Structure 1
Amino acid sequence: MNYVIRAARPGDLQSIYEMAKLTGGGFTNLPPDKKALRAKLERAEASFASDREYPSDELYLLVLEDSDTGEVRGTCQIFGQVGQRWPFYSYRIGTDSKHSEQLGRTFHAQILMLSNDLNGASEVGGLFLHPAARAGGLGLLLARSRYLFIARHRARFGDRILAELRGVIDEAGGSPFWDGVAGKFFGMSFQEADQFNAVHGNQFIADLMPKHPVYIAMLPESARAVIGVPHPSGRAAMRMLENEGFAFEDYIDIFDGGPTMTARTDQVMSVRDAKHIEVTGIGEEGEEALIATGRLADFRCCFGKVGADGTIDADSARLLRIGAGDGVSWIGR
């Protein structure tokens, strides 16, 4: 398999734009807007070049490349720390309890509370795999390469990490959750709000969103039914996150109600269990693995084999552009 993960470059704009047009909406980190995507690539280029060795407002954008053709067939993103440029908003599902002595009853009502609890966390997101490449475990390669990047640059990321999963979108491209909650206060459709957020950020949420709790029982059934539910295309991604140690802890996206998964960074399986070795040479026998090398803009990751003696297979050495004496990080496939 001749696919490799590498740092995105400005020249990848058209390929990423073509993929963004295939997402079907609700994909804030990958808007089908060339200006916004160009800004992301410029921000990523500056982040890869930064000498900061602490969590900050950096964006690391990676792509999946077919090394035989040079075609870009997937992309994913890692954010060093959310909530610096503008507050990071979530809804947190809570409970409001009231007791009546006269009735002798206690009532528990679920509520949505606007929250900045996740400010300061790192984030993985923006994962999209071209439909023509959805085979051979390439989605897993894209997803887990992010954790090997974090493991190789641990000082640049926070102690907590999150992943937002896209919520339920109807056939018309609308969001039942948005229509039942935020849409009542903004005077714009979900598509309009989602596009504005992707291009300009979510400060308008702070300006216009009411700060009082929203009682879930008062929402229409269409909105209640999708709270914390991932888009059907995101169910596999949710399982992969759970396998890595992420959990749903009652935070949801303020736009579409999709689940926000969280974990302690050092307890994410592919960060915690990553092994860091010096390559001893080339060998064709070994454990099936994801292998990564390089720092920042030179980061590369692929599927391969790692021997107990520190060897890696020839194809991996070619894709990663390394040999004996070079350092790699790897995790069992």
Structure 2
Amino acid sequence: MTFRIRAAHDGDLQPLYEMAKLTGGGFTNLPADRKSLRAKLERSHQAFARIDDGTLTDETFVLVLENVETGDVRGTCQLFTHVGQRFPFYSYRLGNLTQHSKELSRTFRADMLSLSTDLEGCSEVGGLFLHPGERAGGLGMLLARSRYLFIAQHRARFADRILAELRGVIDEAGGSPFWDGLAGRFFGMNFQDADHFNAIHGHQFIADLFPKHPIYTAMLSESARAAIGLPHPSGRAAMRMLENEGFAFENYVDIFDGGPTMTAKTDRVRAICEAKRDTVAAVDGDGGDQALVATGTLAEFRCAYGAVQVGDGGITIDEACADAIDVRPGDAVVHVGRI
């Protein structure tokens, strides 16, 4: 069974909606709301249609994972080129304050959360969701790493720093201990309602109502403190993948669920700096090294796993990969080894 990554189109609205209903909440970039998803697809269409690759502006690209044999959409991922342009991009920055008392001969160290827009202007990779029925065979890795090959193909449209937000701890009832212990006290709404509102209407309500002064973590409940910087159990593998690509946790956390925000220098992301550009010299089934192989730009971008042999005159790839991304000898591709 062969899968490929391609640009999303209007016909993908229903499968995207069905997948959004499976996320379990806390997944802002894939809201279970048809109107919001349709608007996201429209923004993506506009981004794919802009052929000027030399300008960095606020754009969204939506990609999907497609079963080549059936045409079924079984996963999705997104890229945001310049966050914080339409709405402020807020994070909490975890820091500390150390104070010393001579009279008590004691030093006190207090951890604090400060509302921050430090990450405005970054690019973001997000919105990755793989259908539960396909969580095998490295398809999550295909979704994740295809984004970096897309960036490599359109480097001028992305910032020099890139981030990825991981969903935080969500309890069995769909609530967030972090939200309940902090922001929920100021908003008078539960986590699910706030998360849904944010997904549809953006972050401005945060600027209007969030406390602007640092929050001492000692004032939070134990469950809220324990959730700071922890990914949802289902996101641990995603966190390891990000770390393998060169992302690091630099004490930024999501203001809704306290999940970690990972950051990296764009040109140091492993899949981007290791990507190779080649010409297809031949197509056959004699094996080779497993790799991600991508071709095309913008709406014609396609990516799939393939067996690659590197030669003096270009690369040889297997037939299934060539068919999935529709390349023949003489076509240009970009590829990176599978990890």
TM class, shorter-chain normalised? Answer: over 0.9
Amino acid at match of 1:290: L
Root-mean-square deviation over aligned CA pairs: 0.9
Alignment of 1:219-298 (within 5 A): 219-284=220-285, 285-298=287-300
Aligned to 2:322: 317
Question: After superposition, what is the alpha-carbon deviation per residue over 1:84-112, rounded to whole angstroms, capped at 9, x for unaligned?
Answer: 11110000000112222222332110000
Aligned to 1:36: 36
Amino acid at match of 2:63: L
Aligned to 1:101: 102
Amino acid at match of 1:46: Q
TM-score, normalised by the number of residues in structure 2:
0.97
Aligned-partner SS, 1:307: strand
Question: After superposition, what is the alpha-carbon deviation per residue over 1:51-76, rounded to whole angstroms, capped at 9, x for unaligned?
Answer: 34232111010000001111000000
Alignment of 1:1-333 (within 5 A): 1-52=1-52, 53-284=54-285, 285-309=287-311, 310-333=315-338
CA distance in 1 between counterparts of 2:50 and 2:84 reads 19
Question: After superposition, what is the alpha-carbon deviation per residue over 1:139-192, rounded to whole angstroms, capped at 9, x for unaligned?
Answer: 110111001101111111111000000000111111000000000101111001
Aligned-pair CA distance for 1:80: 0.5
Question: After superposition, what is the alpha-carbon deviation per residue over 1:197-229, rounded to whole angstroms, capped at 9, x for unaligned?
Answer: 000101100011010000001101010011001
CA distance in 2 between counterparts of 1:105 and 1:55 reads 51
Kept in 2: contact 1:91–1:253 (CA 8 A): yes
Kept in 2: contact 1:283–1:307 (CA 8 A): no
Q: Which runs of 5+ in 2 are unaligned?
A: none
Amino acid at match of 2:295: T
Amino acid at match of 2:332: G
CA distance in 2 between counterparts of 1:222 and 1:164 reads 21
Give the number of aligned pairs: 333
Aligned-partner SS, 1:108: strand
Q: Which runs of 5+ in 1 are unaligned?
A: none
CA distance in 2 between counterparts of 1:315 and 1:232 reads 34
CA distance in 1 between counterparts of 2:326 and 2:296 reads 10
CA distance in 2 between counterparts of 1:140 and 1:316 reads 16
Amino acid at match of 1:296: L
Kept in 2: contact 1:293–1:300 (CA 8 A): yes
Aligned-partner SS, 1:24: coil
Aligned-pair CA distance for 1:237: 0.5
Aligned residues with identical type, % of pairs: 67
CA distance in 1 between counterparts of 2:114 and 2:75 reads 35
Aligned-partner SS, 1:224: helix
Kept in 2: contact 1:306–1:313 (CA 8 A): yes
Moved over 6 A (4+): none
